[in-house]
Amino acid sequence: KRSYNVTLLPGDGIGPEVVAVAKDVLSLAGALEGVEFRFQEKLMGGAALDAYGVPLPEETLTAAQASDAVLLGAIGGYKWDNNEKHLKPETGLLQIRAGLGVFANLRPAAVLPQLVDASTLKKEVAEGVDIMVVRELTGGIYFGQPRGFGTNNKGENTGFNTEVYSASEVDRIARVAFEVARKRRGKLCSVDKANVLEASMLWRKRVTSLASEFPDIELSHMYVDNAAMQLIRNPKQFDTIVTNNIFGDILSDEASMLTGSIGMLPSASVGESGPGLFEPIHGSAPDIAGQDKANPLATILSTAMLLRYGLGEENAAKRVEAAVTETLNNGFRTGDIYSPGTTLVGCKRMGEEVLKTV
């Protein structure tokens, strides 16, 4: 029997509710495919700030690093919004990404046939959209040095950050993206701002030169402003998108909203080796926390990504995804994706329905 250690990081807001449900689905899907899980739960984000005064305790990072995969719920909440930077829940998130070296963030945005009406796009535009954004996650302006506050030559306060990429940082994320495109429809669009930024010029040059290693992939380049437009004009033109950390932050959220159902969207962050980090893209939704209203499907689908990209357990991954599809086909909906004629359920009940079909 194959056996894995999974670190659970429920986090804040609705995080604990959705992780609890997803854990059960992961266990069952694994068991049915001869896979066993040992879980350990650790604190991070606001929960860790309250308990230990830091957003990512050393103990949490060490445990995560020592495990085979990490499942994160969500972090943040009003309570910590005005904290200083090093005491923000978000800082814990950046620290665990860096600490695990998960430089490749995969964010699928697909419009499900059952939920096409949830999109604010016209049906004919939304139907069939299936995009994977591959975002660089441990470099660029999020981590670049120097950064901070200073004074300019007029004696004024300034705030500054550095957008920087090295050749190998671009190469490794581009390789992941080419491989992802190869398993999808064979089209890769690299997004940058190479008409203005040197960091983007290097990016484009490296991505272009890697293309010869992937002759079967159709590579194109697009400026980020145009990409923001094209996602709305004709999202079906995109298969796989690769881009830097900040552009990926913006464009993956834009792409996800095209589906109209961000409560459904998972993500995977992986590195060269070591455990990956898997999490729903939605936030901690403090306003509905603890009310059994959250949609657990994004976290459940994140366990499918954990199985596929984190552990190579493709069969169990497919089992989870099929269960989610069947549950939707059975008409069960949480509030965020409810429409007349379907059955409104809470977080726990949705989990039970998925379990039945696993």
Point out the catalytic residue in the list 23, 42, 88, 193: 193
Question: Is 93 or 202 the residue whose CB approaches ligand IPM more closely?
Answer: 93
User: Environment class of residue 1 by beta-carbon count within 10 Å: exposed (0-12), middle (13-18) or buried (19+)?
Assistant: exposed
Amino acid identity of residue 207, one-letter, is V
Interface pattern 211-250 for ligand IPM (x via CB under 6 A)? --------------x-----------------------x-
Distance CA 259, CA 118 (A): 7
Binding of its own copies at residue 127 (CB under 8 A)?
Answer: no
Question: Is 66 or 229 the residue whose CB approaches its own copies more closely?
Answer: 229
Q: Which of 32, 196, 229, 232 binds ligand IPM (CB under 6 A)?
A: 196
267 neighbors 280 (Cβ within 8 angstroms):
yes
Q: For the packed helices 347-357 and 297-305, what is the interaxial angle rounded to 10 degrees?
A: 40
Binding of its own copies at residue 295 (CB under 8 A)?
Answer: no
Binding of its own copies at residue 256 (CB under 8 A)?
Answer: yes
Q: How many residues does the chain have?
A: 358
Residue 274 interacting entry, from its own copies, ligand IPM, none, C-beta within 5 to 8 Å by type: none
Stretch that binds its own copies, among 34-42, 196-204, 207-215, 299-307 (CB under 8 A): 196-204
Q: How far is the CB of 72 from ligand IPM (least distance, A)?
A: 10
Binding of its own copies at residue 209 (CB under 8 A)?
Answer: no
Query: What's the gap between Cα 56 and its chain centre?
Result: 19
306 neighbors 100 (Cβ within 8 angstroms):
no
**Per-residue 3-state assignment (H helix, E strand, C coil) for 49-99:** HHHHCCCCCHHHHHHHHHCCEEEEEECCCHHHCCCCHHHCHHHHHHHHHHH
**Per-residue 3-state assignment (H helix, E strand, C coil) for 213-240:** HCCCCEEEEEEHHHHHHHHHHCHHHCCE
Question: Is 136 or 313 the residue whose CB approaches ligand IPM more closely?
Answer: 136
Binding of ligand IPM at residue 352 (CB under 6 A)?
Answer: no
Distance CA 16, CA 12 (A): 7
Binding of ligand IPM at residue 328 (CB under 6 A)?
Answer: no
Point out the catalytic residue in the list 239, 249, 293, 309: 249
State the distance between the two ends of the chain, measured CA to CA, in whole angstroms: 19
Stretch that binds its own copies, among 19-27, 87-95, 207-215, 268-276 (CB under 8 A): 87-95
Distance CA 343, CA 334 (A): 8
Q: Is 193 a catalytic residue?
A: yes
Q: For the packed helices 314-329 and 297-305, what is the interaxial angle rounded to 10 degrees?
A: 160
Binding of its own copies at residue 159 (CB under 8 A)?
Answer: yes
Distance CA 200, CA 225 (A): 13
Distance CA 223, CA 193 (A): 5
Question: Is 46 or 310 the residue whose CB approaches its own copies more closely?
Answer: 46
Q: Which of 62, 234, 329, 330 binds its own copies (CB under 8 A)?
A: 234
Binding of its own copies at residue 273 (CB under 8 A)?
Answer: no
Residue 177 interacting entry, from ligand IPM, its own copies, none, C-beta within 5 to 8 Å by type: none
Binding of its own copies at residue 333 (CB under 8 A)?
Answer: no
Q: Is 142 a catalytic residue?
A: yes
Q: Is 336 a catalytic residue?
A: no
Q: Which of 102, 106, 258, 320 binds its own copies (CB under 8 A)?
A: 258
Q: For the packed helices 314-329 and 15-32, what is the interaxial angle rounded to 10 degrees?
A: 120
167 neighbors 206 (Cβ within 8 angstroms):
yes
List interacting residues with its own copies (CB under 8 A): 85, 88, 90, 94, 120-122, 125, 141-142, 144, 147-149, 152, 154, 156-168, 193, 195-203, 224-226, 228-234, 246-247, 249-254, 256-258, 260, 262
List interacting residues with ligand IPM (CB under 6 A): 90, 93, 195-196, 225, 249
Which amino acids are annotated catalytic? 142, 193, 225, 249, 253
